[in-house]
Amino acid sequence: MSLKLKEEERMVEMFLEYQNQVRKQNKLIQEKKANLLIMIAEVKGKRQELEVLTANIQDLKEEYSRKKETISSANRANEERLKRLQKSADLYKERLGLEIRKIHGDKLQFIFTNIDPKHPESPFMFSLSLNEAKEYEVSDSVPHLECLAEFQENVRKTNNFSAFLANVRKAFTATVYN
């Protein structure tokens, strides 16, 4: 009986020990479950951040594409405008004998030819610049024209540069025939 009693006591101790181990295991399981839930929440948060970042990247790509297209179309328009201006410059040079050169002191020199029928290559020129007030200022002409001051005031008032050039050309032509 005593043997049986000892065996039962040992069984009770083992049962208590197993019960204690089960409690420890349950406690570990609960801790790991809590950690797992935290990790799942973090992963969900990271996924949401990733989705937001992906959406932002897509928006930036679309904006970049729109800006690139805008720049491209502006470049095409500028190229087209430059071609038209070059055509006009070539036409002026060829037909009217007008050549425009940039000279020292931020001045432009306008050289007319094809004015004197006897000497079509003879140059008639004047220099033009902008003063501090951003107004046109004629500095000299060859041959000298008395009416340049009047033309200068006219172009300052009207800002019609084409008419100014036409008037200067007419004045040079008048000097040839006088």
Q: Is the domain of 21 the same as that of 85?
A: yes
Q: Is the domain of 71 the same as that of 107?
A: no
Is this model's pTM higher than 0.85 or not?
no
Residues pairing with 50 in the sheet: none
The residue from 48, 70, 93 where one domain ends is 93
Q: Is the domain of 44 the same as that of 23?
A: yes
Q: Is the domain of 85 the same as that of 103?
A: no
pLDDT at 90 over 90: no
At residue 46, the pLDDT reads 97
The residue from 93, 128, 162 where one domain ends is 93
- Reported as half-sphere exposure (CB side, CA atoms, 13 A), residue 156 has a value of 16
Q: Is the domain of 102 the same as that of 40?
A: no
- 3-58: pLDDT as tens digits: 888 999 999 999 999 999 999 999 999 999 999 999 999 999 999 999 999 999 99
Q: Is the domain of 88 the same as that of 122?
A: no
Q: Give me the domain span that covers residue 40.
A: 1-93
Q: Is the domain of 5 the same as that of 89?
A: yes
Residues pairing with 127 in the sheet: 109, 140
> For 126, left (φ over 0), alpha (ψ -120 to 50), or beta?
beta
Whichever domain contains 151, its CATH number is: 3.30.457.50
SS3 for the chain is CHHHHHHHHHHHHHHHHHHHHHHHHHHHHHHHHHHHHHHHHHHHHHHHHHHHHHHHHHHHHHHHHHHHHHHHHHHHHHHHHHHHHHHHHHHHHHHHCEEEEEECCCEEEEEECCCCCCCCCCCEEEEEEECCCCCEEEEEEECCCCCHHHHHHHHHHHCCHHHHHHHHHHHHHHHHHC
Q: Is the domain of 56 the same as that of 77?
A: yes
Average pLDDT across the chain, whole number: 92
- What average pLDDT score do residues 84-97 get? 82
Q: Is the domain of 88 the same as that of 107?
A: no
- 133-167: pLDDT as tens digits: 888 999 889 999 999 999 999 999 998 988 999 89
Q: Indicate if the alpha-carbon torsion angle 108, 137, 158, 124 is positive or negative.
A: negative
Query: Do residues 148 and 81 make contact, with C-beta atoms less than 8 angstroms apart?
Result: no
Q: Is the domain of 56 the same as that of 121?
A: no
Domain count, the chain: 2
Q: Is the domain of 129 the same as that of 172?
A: yes
Q: Is the domain of 22 the same as that of 77?
A: yes
